[in-house]
Chains A and B, each alone.
Chain A
Amino acid sequence: MEEEHRVTDLIKELVLRLLSQNPQNPSSSIDTQKSLRYAIRILSSLMTPSIAPDSAAIAESIKRQLATQGKSSQALAFADLYTKFASKNGPGSIENKWAVLYLLKVISEDRKNQKSRSDSRVSSGFSASVGLPALFDAESGGYSGVSRNRETLEKGWNNGVLLVSKDPENIREIAVREFANLVKEENEVSEEVLVRDVLYACQGIDGKYVKFDKSVDGYLLRDSIKVPRATRITVQKLCELGWLFRKVKGYISESMDRFPAEDVGTVGQAFCAALQDELSHYYKLLAVLEAQSMNPIPLVSETANSGTYLSLRRLSVWFAEPMVKMRLMAVLVDKCRVLRGGAMAGAIHLHAQHGDPLVHEFMRQLLCRVCSPLFEMVRSWVLEGELEDIFAEFFVLGQPVKAESLWREGYRLHAGMLPSFISQSLAQRILRTGKSINFLRVCCEDRGWADAATEAAAAAGTTTRRGGLGYGETDALESLVIEAAKRIDKHLLDVMYKQYKFKEHCLAIKRYLLLGQGDFVQYLMDIVGPELSEPANTISSFKLAGLLESAIRSSNAQYDDRDILDRLRVKMMPHGTGDRGWDVFSLEYDARVPLNTVFTESVMARYLRIFNFLWKLRRVEHALIGAWKTMKPNCITSNSFIKLQSAVKLQLLSTLRRCQVLWDEMNHFVSNLQYYIMFEVLEVSWSNFSNEMEAAKDLDDLLAAHDKYLNSIVEKSLLGERSQNLYKTLFVLFDLILRFRSHVDRLYEGIHELQSRTMESLSPSRDKTRSRRLLNDKTAEPGAWISDGRKALTQRAGEFLRNMGQDLDAIAKEYSSLLEGFISQLPVQQHIDLKFLLFRLDFTEFYCQLHPNM
């Protein structure tokens, strides 16, 4: 009670002070009484401030206001004062600080408004005392909204609060009524009807006034209907949703219609289902909105508001979110019309890279649905090796091939179907894992991979059943794939190494095809040598097979695994006329499934090339050794020379000597080349290959290692593309050496015959002949020798030696020029190891000094 008294007293005081501000107008006590009543009425009204009680926020807003008015120094001063003011706490301080601040703010704003508006108010003809600036401004400003109610008015304008207390209902009513009439006059159709029409349009149905117009491709309000332009545009904008809806709906029904006949694909179906779900959410919204649209739209005057009515404006707010989603869907539908499978998922994924969380979330959900068939395919491919892809949507393509090319050609990645959220390397890994399973199943007839797959799934934390993965779990997918790949590849390699003895077979190929087993090669060369000198078309490959068998039996190769030896065969290459056996003979290794994945036909063809080269090299070496057997000096031959005539003897010795020197030179070249091939090419490559074989993690690694091995042999042994010239020169050199060998044979044959003639002529007629020699022409008849005298013999011998000497000279000359060419080409080669060959051949720098220009 006392407090109430105090309040009344204070209000009285306030009124007095406020009225006494005008000194020229001493107010009468009646006036004061009236004002006091008025003040009490205002204060007792249940007005509440429109803002939350927060003094700091008010202070901030005042400060900003001052600053925007250009009074920055005052703003600073105010901020300073406020901090001091706010720090006053405890007894005696002002408790309700925000109220004080708010009061000051309102009064200050009011004074400002009063100053600036006083002119217009007076001129507009309203009574100054009634003037309510807010209402006045709003109404005359042509505010055309129909949904305005008292609530918004109060909130928007501080001055509007006076309406309640002062209640100039009559004037307001009149204005509002006038406005409503105006609205009715302008609009032929009421807004409720338009709202309902728009709702229809948004379900793709033509309304009464809003209809689909084909010419502009969109929903339009009929031209004949008279509505304000603003309304028309609003309707048009809202109806965009209808247009988008038609598009999405059309796509879905089109896909569904096509489904049984054409292959839409599982991804396409999933996409349609996801869109359909999204549309059913949209239908729910529309149903709610439709229910609301039945409520009448209250006019400004009607104070009772139901709150849940729909105006076009409200509708546009409601439609904001569906519009975004629908637009996205329409864009996706456009994009995906021609796409399928992984490509479709990829295209949708591209749109998911969006900063807006709403869009992002929406796309994520959509993609989850769309990608589920795809992930299911990946899962069954990686864990079971099954390609469940009826519609060719998966990014792994299978094609029926023979078992031997299953690994290389059986499956491949389809770049177009690879969605961008699966990286290239992951895709490769996925491909290889499934391929490994299939390889194990088809080629190795192995069942152990199933355990490996189960283990992998357990390790990755996913179950082997369906639907374990989804979009956005790329990490989970990756870990599953990695686990599966690791185990299955390991299993595959185990099978290759242990069950199919890959390494043993490689070694066997090296020993037999690359002539690594020395004794075997020696025997073989000895046995088949005579046979191979025959023309190619007379040689029987069965006979050669028998010879091969006996070469195996007589060498250490007989202790090798029977399985390996069985695979070694003789192969006759296709031959032309004039080919000798040497040209067509080769060995072959039958790798069989599954090893023929590694040793494919092309690989075997390369082995064959290497074999031919090595075989030729061996043959040349063999020939040189054979020549040495006949040439090496022994006492029997040297004894017989003593009896020769000195001139002939000298000639003979010099020829023999030249022959020895040339042989030596050739032997140096061939044995060094042989050494280089064996130790710097074959063995080094093999050792690298063995290391890589140990380190190989999957079959691809193994294939790559083997390819590398083969390549390095081919490159280093001059068989590569780049060293073709060298290779040709080398073969000419080999031929020359073989020619040399036949010359040597002829020379020594001649010498031996000469010797025997000499002996012959000595024994029957020892008195007259000291020695007799004969030169051996094939044409010479043995009978002629006896009749020939010693002189003739000597003469013929001289002639023969001269001829032989000339031939040898020619060969030597050709040889040295060829060798020079060969050696000079060596440093030009790219391959570093060929430099070692040069170094080896020219160790003493003999050739370097001989041909300083090299």
Chain B
Amino acid sequence: MDPEAAQTARESLELAFHMSNILDTGLDRHTLSVLITLCDLGLNPEALAAVVKELRRESCSSSPMPETPSSVS
């Protein structure tokens, strides 16, 4: 990767991160970069969003009630 492309990639990520903050998505920089890469690989953003949402719910709901794995069928 030439330095110019790297620079652009960094700036793009920075901008996306800013937007993400404004929209209050609660994503950190690293997670965001993973998501962007996945999007660029052609994955469906709607599905990705669903994953983020579900896993988040998982992680926070599992903290008060860790004994409910059956919720995922």
Contact = CB atoms under 8 A, between A and B. Distances in A.
Interface in A352-397: none
Interface in A105-149: 105-108, 110-112, 114, 127-130
Interface of B is mostly: helix
A85 B59 contact: no
A447 B36 CA distance: 92
Given A66-B22, A85-B16, A114-B53, 12 more contacts: A10-B38, A21-B56, A24-B63, A34-B69, A43-B43, A48-B44, A94-B36, A102-B45, A105-B23, A112-B24, A129-B72, A130-B71
Interface stretch (A11-19, A270-278, A472-480, A626-634): A11-19
B8 A92 contact: yes
A74 to B, nearest CB: 5
Interface residues of A, number: 69
B18 A90 contact: no
Q: Is the interface on chain B under 10, 10 to 19, 20 to 34, or 35 or more residues?
A: 35 or more
A7 B23 contact: no
Nearest to A18: B55
Interface in B6-63: 6-9, 11-12, 15-16, 18-20, 22-28, 30-31, 34-63
Contacts, number: 191
B36 A25 contact: no
B45 A99 contact: yes
A81 interface: yes
Contacts of B58: 19, 35, 38
A165 B38 contact: no
Contacts of A166: 73
Nearest to A165: B50
A107 B44 contact: no
A110 B40 contact: no
A78 interface: yes
Q: Which of B7, B23, B35, B52 has the most CB of A within 10 A?
A: B23
A106 B46 contact: yes
B47 to A, nearest CB: 5
22 contacts: A10-B38, A15-B55, A18-B55, A19-B59, A25-B63, A31-B62, A34-B72, A38-B58, A38-B72, A43-B47, A66-B22, A77-B22, A92-B5, A94-B36, A96-B42, A100-B35, A107-B49, A108-B25, A129-B68, A161-B46, A165-B50, A167-B73
Contacts of B51: 11, 14-15, 18, 39, 42-43
Contacts of B66: 25
A104 B23 contact: yes
Contact of B48 (A81, A103, A161, A168): A103
Nearest to A24: B63
A567 to B, nearest CB: 104
B44 A111 contact: no
Contacts of B30: 17
Q: Which of A38, A62, A107 has the most CB of B within 10 A?
A: A107
B11 A14 contact: no
A101 B35 CA distance: 11
A21 B43 contact: no
Contacts of A81: 15, 18-19, 22
B7 A106 contact: no
A111 B39 contact: no
Contact of A84 (B2, B15, B69): B15
Given A111-B24, A129-B68, A103 B49 contact: yes
A47 interface: yes
Given A17-B30, A107-B52, A93 B41 contact: no
A804 to B, nearest CB: 131
Contacts of B40: 94-96, 99
A45 interface: yes
A139 B42 CA distance: 35
Nearest to A15: B55
B2 A91 contact: yes
Nearest to A50: B46
A159 to B, nearest CB: 9
Contact of A85 (B12, B52, B69, B73): B12
A162 interface: yes
A787 interface: no
A74 B34 CA distance: 25
Contact of B38 (A7, A25, A108): A7
Contact of A62 (B23, B41, B69, B73): B23
Contacts of A24: 63
